[in-house]
């Protein structure tokens, strides 16, 4: 650590400067010293410094002048000022100008070492924060949403148009199509990218806790509320809140959510004091909200408020030409994470994967690629490495001879009926174990739970 940490000591008193230099070097730091402001400014202009320890009163200029000059060159360098006058006003002024802390003469060396360590800790945290944000931006760039199909090109075009706005967005699409990935891309490429992104899975929060989770509560609001607690909306203030599975919010909370969207304020549970917020709302659902409105299960006025800009993500079965690019992307991504960066897939296996219906969409595809990498010994995934469930469930194979009667059919009712029948059969075959039933159906457990709830299947 010491060789990487460079500290500048600015002190006009020769003995004091030498003592500080020796002290900090003995603590393991690399130390440069300067006897006056002019000499210090020359060092500041050419050296990369982590910490500066500066006397407030130099013969040619003040410590405040040095502090202001440092801020023009580097916002990350921490400045600790030293004053022999124990002046609270001087110290406060230095702090307002951006000093990390101050110490008074005579200097307590133990105190100085503690303050330097805290300054470096703060610098490290800020550096890590910048790095993480950079990583997040890279991860959620539009280029990481894979798709060359006409359907996905329409999605990209709309995303580009709305990314720099604060408009409310409703993302629709089947489970596993990447709705949260799109929401994050809109946030981290927009003008709120330096602000919080808070994701809330509405279907995972018990109804009795949902109001408190979203809007917070005050102490004593209910049994167990031993202190004030901010909700998800307050946590997302000035940033973006992503309400996933918005269609599962109960009616009585839909009214409160509508008020948040209209008035831009919330009230914590147990309080009637409004809290003003400035939050962008992006929501998502795999349900047909228009049908929910017709059924009286979702408020029409809330639906219109959420659906200012609709964004529909097509299922993978409707964009077959994206399957191969996605497979190659996940082979590279998962292969790198698993220490097998050169994995490929042969033609026969690729054809089988392209002919599968992918009921779990992109999420199912990524999970399958990870599984195939893990279970394949060599660098090439062959047809033998493709699960039999994929090979035996090609897209539409069982329906190509389906005959449509002259009178037509109720397609939605037929699809829902088939879906219901298959889920019941899978649950029976799996002995009621949902994870096993989900495997039999080729979907993930979360998707199965959502479908059981939507189709009102008793388990």
Give domain limits for the chain: 2-135, 142-314, 318-397, 403-454
Report the top-level CATH class of 2-135: alpha beta
List Cβ<8 Å contacts ≥24 apart for 131-135: 133/193, 133/194
Say if 2-135 and 142-314 have the same CATH topology. yes
Asked whether residue 417 carries a pLDDT value surpassing 50, the answer given is yes
Provide the pLDDT confidence category of residue 395 given band limits of 50, 70 and 90. very low
What does the pLDDT average to over 26-35? 90
Percent of the chain with pLDDT over 70: 90
Q: Where are the beta strands (DSSP E) in 119-196?
A: 169-172
What does the pLDDT average to over 279-307? 94
Provide the pLDDT confidence category of residue 419 given band limits of 50, 70 and 90. confident
The 10s digit of each residue's pLDDT in 446-458 is 888 888 988 888 7
pLDDT of residue 83: 81
CATH entry, 142-314, from 3.20.20.150, 3.40.50.300, 3.40.50.1820, 3.30.1490.20: 3.40.50.300
* Architecture of the domain spanning 403-454: Orthogonal Bundle (1.10)
Lowest mean pLDDT among 58-72, 115-129, 418-432: 115-129
144 with 278: CB under 8 angstroms?
Answer: no
pLDDT of residue 301: 95
What does the pLDDT average to over 48-76? 86
Torsion on CA atoms 375, 381, 384, 387, rounded to nearest 10: 60
pLDDT of residue 1: 40
Q: How many CB atoms lie within 10 A of CB 398?
A: 10
Provide the pLDDT confidence category of residue 3 given band limits of 50, 70 and 90. very low
pLDDT of residue 70: 87
Which residues, in sequence order, are CB contacts of 154 under 8 Å at separation 6+? none
What does the pLDDT average to over 396-416? 66
The 10s digit of each residue's pLDDT in 119-164 is 888 877 766 555 555 544 445 556 668 888 888 989 989 999 999 8
Asked whether residue 204 carries a pLDDT value surpassing 80, the answer given is yes
CATH of domain 318-397: 1.10.8.60
Asked whether residue 86 carries a pLDDT value surpassing 70, the answer given is no
Provide the pLDDT confidence category of residue 250 given band limits of 50, 70 and 90. very high
Sheet-wide strand order for 169-172: 197-201, 240-244, 280-285, 169-172, 309-312
List Cβ<8 Å contacts ≥24 apart for 370-374: 370/330, 370/334, 370/338, 372/345, 373/331, 373/334, 373/335, 373/338, 373/340, 373/343, 374/338
52 with 7: CB under 8 angstroms?
Answer: yes
- Say if residue 129 is exposed, middle or buried (CB neighbours under 10 Å; 0-12, 13-18, 19+): exposed
Percent of the chain with pLDDT over 90: 37
- 449 in helix, strand or coil? helix
């Amino acid at each position: 650590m010491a060789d990487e940490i460079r500290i500048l000591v600015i002190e006009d008193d020769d003995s004091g400067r030498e003592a500080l230099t020796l002290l900090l070097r003995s603590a393991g730091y690399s130390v440069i010293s300067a006897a006056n402001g002019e000499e210090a400014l020359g060092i500041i202009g050419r050296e990369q410094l982590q910490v500066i320890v500066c006397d407030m009163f130099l013969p040619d200029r003040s410590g405040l002048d040095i502090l202001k000059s440092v801020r023009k060159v580097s916002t990350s360098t921490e400045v600790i000022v030293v004053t022999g006058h124990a002046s609270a006003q001087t110290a406060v002024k230095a702090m307002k100008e951006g000093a990390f802390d101050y110490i008074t003469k005579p200097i307590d060396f133990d105190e100085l070492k503690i303050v330097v360590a805290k300054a470096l800790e703060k610098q490290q945290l800020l550096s890590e924060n910048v790095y993480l944000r950079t990583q997040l931006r890279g991860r959620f760039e539009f280029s990481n949403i894979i798709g060359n199909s006409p359907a996905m090109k329409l999605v990209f075009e709309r995303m580009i148009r709305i990314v720099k706005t604060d408009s409310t967005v409703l993302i629709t699409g089947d489970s596993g199509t990447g709705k949260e990935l799109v929401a994050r891309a809109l946030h981290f490429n927009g003008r709120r990218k330096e602000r919080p992104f808070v994701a809330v899975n509405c279907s995972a929060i018990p109804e009795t806790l949902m109001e408190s989770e979203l809007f917070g509560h005050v102490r004593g609001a209910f049994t167990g509320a031993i202190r004030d607690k901010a909700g998800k909306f307050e946590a997302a203030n000035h940033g973006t809140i992503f309400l996933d599975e918005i269609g599962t919010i109960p009616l009585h909370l839909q009214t409160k959510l509508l008020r948040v969207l209209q008035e831009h304020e919330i009230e914590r549970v147990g309080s009637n004091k409004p809290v003003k917020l400035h939050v962008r709302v992006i929501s998502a659902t795999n349900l047909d909200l228009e049908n929910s409105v017709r059924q009286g299960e979702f408020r029409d006025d809330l639906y219109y408020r959420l659906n200012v800009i609709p964004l529909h993500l097509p299922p993978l079965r409707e964009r077959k030409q994206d399957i191969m690019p996605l497979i190659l992307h996940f082979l590279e991504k998962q292969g790198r994470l698993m220490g097998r960066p050169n994995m490929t897939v042969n033609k026969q296996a690729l054809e089988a994967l392209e002919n599968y219906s992918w009921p779990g969409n992109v999420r199912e595809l990524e999970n399958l690629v990870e599984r195939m990498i893990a279970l394949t010994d060599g660098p090439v995934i062959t047809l033998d490495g493709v699960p039999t469930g994929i090979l035996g469930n090609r897209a539409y194979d069982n329906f190509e001879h389906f005959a449509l009667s002259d009178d037509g059919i109720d397609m939605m009712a037929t699809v829902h009926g088939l879906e219901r029948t298959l889920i019941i059969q899978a649950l029976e075959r799996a002995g009621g174990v949902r994870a096993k039933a989900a495997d039999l159906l080729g979907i993930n457990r979360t998707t199965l739970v959502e479908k059981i709830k939507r189709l009102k299947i008793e388990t």
